Amino acid sequence: METIFLSSFFLVFGASIGSFLNVLIDRLPNDQGIHGRSKCDYCGKKIAWYDLFPVFSYFILGGKCRHCKKKLSFQYPLIEVLTGVIFLLVFLSGKGSSYWGLFALLGIVSSLIVIFVSDLKYHLISDYLLGSLTIFSFVLHLTNLVSWQFILKEQVASALIVSLPIFLIYFLSHEKAMGLGDVYLTAIMGFLLGWKAGFLALYFAFVTGAIIGIILLIRHKRKIKSRIPFGPFLVAGTVLMIFWGDKALDLVRSIYGF
Ligand SMILES: [Zn+2]
pLDDT-derived band at 42, boundaries 50, 70, 90 = confident
User: CA 233, 121, 11: angle at the middle one, nearest 5?
Assistant: 70
Q: How far is CA 46 from the centre of its chain?
A: 28
Task: Answer with the residue of higher pLDDT: 32 or 11.
Answer: 11
DSSP bridge partners of 46: 39
pLDDT-derived band at 166, boundaries 50, 70, 90 = very high
Contact predicate 85/14, CB 8 Å: yes
Q: Is the pLDDT of residue 146 over 80?
A: no
Q: Is the pLDDT of residue 113 over 90?
A: yes
Give the mean model confidence (pLDDT) for residues 15-31: 88
Alpha-carbon torsion (108, 106, 243, 139), positive or negative: positive
How far away, in angstroms, is 47 Cα from ligand 1 center? 9
Contacts of 110 (CB under 8 A, 6+ apart): 17, 21, 83
How far away, in angstroms, is 119 Cα from ligand 1 center? 25
pLDDT (tens digit, 9 = 90+) per residue, 84-96? 999 999 999 887 7
How far away, in angstroms, is 88 Cα from ligand 1 center? 32
Query: Burial level of 142, CB count in 10 A (0-12/13-18/19+)?
Result: middle
How high is the pLDDT of residue 74? 87
Contact predicate 120/229, CB 8 Å: yes
pLDDT (tens digit, 9 = 90+) per residue, 205-228? 999 999 988 888 888 765 655 678
Mean pLDDT of the chain: 88
Task: Answer with the residue of higher pLDDT: 28 or 167.
Answer: 167
How far away, in angstroms, is 37 Cα from ligand 1 center? 14
How high is the pLDDT of residue 93? 87
How far away, in angstroms, is 66 Cα from ligand 1 center? 7
How far away, in angstroms, is 62 Cα from ligand 1 center? 13
